[in-house]
Amino acid sequence: MIAFWEQAWFWPSISVIVGLPLLLLLLTEVQSSLERRHNPMSKVVALLRNAVVPVIAILVLSVQVTDAVDPGRPVVSQVIATVLGFLLIVFVLNGLNILMFTNARKGTWREKIPSIFVDIARVILVAIGLAVVFRIVWGTDIGGIFTALGVGSFVIALALQTAVGPIVAGLFLLFEQPFRLGDWLDIGGTRGRVVEVNWRSVHVDTGEGILITPIGSLAGASFTNLSRTGGTFPVSTDVTFTTDDPPAAVVALLERVASGLPQLYTGTRPKAVPAGGAAYTVSFQVRGPSQEADALAQFRMWLWYAARRAGLGLDGDTTDDFVTDARRDEALAAIAATLYLSGDDSVALAPVVRLERYAAGEVIHRVGTVPDSVRFVLSGSVDLRVPFEDAELPATRVEAGDYVGQTALTREALLTTATALTEVSVLVIPATALDQIVRSTPALARDMGDVIDRRRAEVSAAVSAHVASQQNAVTAS
């Protein structure tokens, strides 16, 4: 009688009973380590641990049982082997996909291959792998299958040559990758951002809807990738003034307004040129096509306010209902107490003051400049910021009843940049006119000196708080 440890089933069974828990424990540790490093291979190891290895163990035990009970018909083992073959195909393909494409370095050929080609190759490999599995496990003649598939594919290709040709051309376009998701394209005069690319079409968001262009049509036509312009994107617009406006003043105004746009590409300068008659063209560079619409909208809004302040007739309109004698006198009456003005003083001051309005985001005073006038805020809010290293730190906010440009009296450079937070209306009083008032009103000189000292203290506090926060961040890290 043969001892049980000498039976054919003994050692394979012992290998499963002992080896399976140990192998699962090892794969669990490997998977946890990969997950902690956010490595995508952790999913492949999970497939190996949760599916492949257990099915191998089941197959080993099944073979022993079926061989002992019914050696002639191991159908159960064949089914398990087929499942194992499919799992091995998935395991190998997922591993290759991660090693070759998921972790591909930017700019390499692996990173440039469109996902559609990877998907097609995966389907083909799965089909070949399953054919091999059926040949090995079930003894199927796969030669006839491949022959039939080859002949059938040839016939289908001839029948669908016209329909499939554009699709193939589109697939080669995808392989070339002249654009990617997020790029801005100009297709036949229509501009938009690419939001989806598949094997059949390209979806472009034009801002007014989604333009769906067949990939084959795009492969046979010309288009412009607006996102590949070397880092800058040119923007230009035409504006008109009146023929009475001095061209030099108009050009200077256009370039000054455009130079303050937050979308302006760093290191570039706007350019404005007369286009004949009352027309002008202004051009500037932004950081990408996605900023074109916002830059133009902000430019046109700022230009309206700046043209009114400069007395130039944008779009041929020289009227300004905001600047009236009644509103000017009302503004003087509102600040009379601040300037210690009597009735006669206000009347004498009226001819030299003026009203101005600023749009939200416009700069009223820039840091480092010496103002030639003081601007009393009548409505709106003004943000005062101090530049420090590569940032602008908030110092304080000026509301209606306060003023900016207070160093006009001392002829000192400003320590902060004053920017309108909302639409702001101000009354502008020249420094020469304020000098005369200060000479006769010592209290006003003392008040303005206090404001200057307070603004300096606010700047110092903002810088100190920023430095302290940086030091705390360094200490915490």
Query: Could you read off the pLDDT of 345-372 as tens digits, one per residue?
Result: 888 899 999 999 999 999 999 999 999 9
What pLDDT is recorded for position 225?
79
- How confident is the model over 414-420, as a mean pLDDT? 94
pLDDT confidence band for 2 (50 / 70 / 90): low
Which of 159, 190, 207 is where one domain is finished? 159
Instruction: Please determine, for residue 75, whether its predicted confidence score (pLDDT) is greater than 50.
Output: yes
Average pLDDT in the chain: 83
pLDDT confidence band for 100 (50 / 70 / 90): confident
Query: Could you read off the pLDDT of 303-334 as tens digits, one per residue?
Result: 999 999 999 999 999 888 899 999 999 999 99
Q: Is residue 475 part of a domain?
A: no
> Using N-to-C axis directions, what is the helix angle for 53-69 and 75-97, rounded to 10°?
160
What pLDDT is recorded for position 101?
66
What range does the domain containing 84 cover? 4-159
The domain tally of the chain equals 4
344 and 438 both lie in a single domain: yes
Nearest to 82 by CA among 11, 135, 122: 135
58 and 202 both lie in a single domain: no
Instruction: Report the 3 state secondary structure along the chain.
Output: CCCHHHCCCHHHHHHHHHHHHHHHHHHHHHHHHHHHCCCCHHHHHHHHHHHHHHHHHHHHHHHHHHHHHCCCCCHHHHHHHHHHHHHHHHHHHHHHHHHHHHCCCCCCHHHHCCHHHHHHHHHHHHHHHHHHHHHHHHCCCHHHHHHHHHHHHHHHHHHCHHHHHHHHHHHHHHHHCCCCCCCEEEECCEEEEEEEECCCEEEEECCCCEEEEEHHHHHCCCCEECCCCCCCEEEEEEEECCCCCCHHHHHHHHHHHHHCCCCECCCCCCEEEEEECCEEEEEEEECCHHHHHHHHHHHHHHHHHHHHHHCCCHHHCCCCCCCCHHHHHHHHHHHHHHHCCCHHHHHHHHHHCEEEEECCCCEEECCCCCCCEEEEEEECCEEEEEEECCEEEEEEEECCCCEECHHHCCCCCCCCEEEECCCEEEEEEEHHHHHHHHHHCHHHHHHHHHHHHHHHHHHHHHHHHHHHHHHHHHHHC
305 and 248 both lie in a single domain: yes
- How confident is the model over 224-230, as a mean pLDDT? 73
What pLDDT is recorded for position 274?
95
Q: Is residue 341 part of a domain?
A: yes
Query: Could you read off the pLDDT of 182-205 as tens digits, one per residue?
Result: 788 888 778 888 888 776 788 888
12 and 151 both lie in a single domain: yes
Instruction: Report the 3 state secondary structure along 271-282.
Output: EEEEEECCEEEE
146 and 271 both lie in a single domain: no
What pLDDT is recorded for position 396?
92
- How confident is the model over 408-430, as a mean pLDDT? 93
The count of other CB atoms within 10 Å of the CB of residue 106 is 6
What pLDDT is recorded for position 3?
53
Instruction: Please determine, for residue 160, whether its predicted confidence score (pLDDT) is greater than 70.
Output: no
pLDDT confidence band for 166 (50 / 70 / 90): low
What pLDDT is recorded for position 344?
81
> 203: domain CATH number?
2.30.30.60
Least confident of 29-33, 133-137, 466-470: 133-137
51 and 75 both lie in a single domain: yes
129 and 259 both lie in a single domain: no
Instruction: Please determine, for residue 475, whether its predicted confidence score (pLDDT) is greater than 80.
Output: no
What pLDDT is recorded for position 310?
93
Amino acid at 98: I
423 and 346 both lie in a single domain: yes
What pLDDT is recorded for position 385?
94
Q: Is residue 167 part of a domain?
A: no
Query: Could you read off the pLDDT of 251-282 as tens digits, one per residue?
Result: 999 999 999 999 998 889 999 999 988 999 99
The tokens describing 147, both together, are 């022959």
Q: Is residue 269 part of a domain?
A: yes
Q: Is residue 172 part of a domain?
A: no
Which of 159, 187, 212 is where one domain is finished? 159
Q: Which of 96-100, 151-155, 160-164 has the highest mean pLDDT?
A: 96-100
334 and 426 both lie in a single domain: yes
Which of 106, 127, 159 is where one domain is finished? 159
154 and 17 both lie in a single domain: yes
Q: Is residue 166 part of a domain?
A: no
* Phi, psi torsion values for 468, nearest 5 degrees: -65, -40
Q: Is residue 168 part of a domain?
A: no
Q: Is residue 173 part of a domain?
A: no
237 and 205 both lie in a single domain: no
> 268: domain CATH number?
3.30.70.1130
355 and 446 both lie in a single domain: yes
